[in-house]
Amino acid sequence: MKNLILASAFFAGSFGMAFAQTANPNAAEISFEKEVIDYGKITKGANGEREFVFKNTGKEPLIVTNASGSCGCTVPEWPRTPINPGTKSGIKVKYDTQRVGPFTKTVTVQSNGRSATKVLTIKGEVVDVPAPQTTPINDKSTGSKISK
């Protein structure tokens, strides 16, 4: 039984080492300028669009195969065409700013890069700005009160 376990462990280790050695050194690589975007405090209904800028730092064309938000309130858009080596592009993210309160959401990006999966984060707080308060003033010409 011990021999079977040792043989299995040796085989698994050898397979892992062989796979690591065959990794393509020229593969595409997705490198983001920022992996976290902090919206700070934004008002309800404000523009919730932001962009994660990245560059293909590899030696082969980069293909982003998918980008998915952690919930329906976070909608990503990604380039559908290959990104050549040395070229910049971006993943656009739109957050639903109708939801008041703090938020932290993620976008999972999948590509053919050496780092096949990257997780990006957006965070911030949506605040509900109350309507401006009015105070009545006297309109002396008519004697009525008017709100401004």
**Is 102 a member of any domain?**
yes
Alpha-carbon span 29 to 62, nearest angstrom: 7
The torsion angles phi and psi of 63, rounded to 5 degrees, stand at: -120, 115
Q: What is the pTM of this model?
A: 0.73
Q: What is the band of 15 on the pLDDT scale with cuts at 50, 70, 90?
A: very low
**Is 96 a member of any domain?**
yes
Which amino acid is it at 72?
G
The torsion angles phi and psi of 85, rounded to 5 degrees, stand at: -55, 135
**Is 139 a member of any domain?**
no
**Is 60 a member of any domain?**
yes
Q: What is the pLDDT of residue 6?
A: 46
Least confident of 33-47, 65-79, 104-118, 121-135: 121-135
Range of the domain at 96: 29-127
Domain count, the chain: 1
Mean pLDDT of 109-125: 96
CATH of the domain at 84: 2.60.40.10
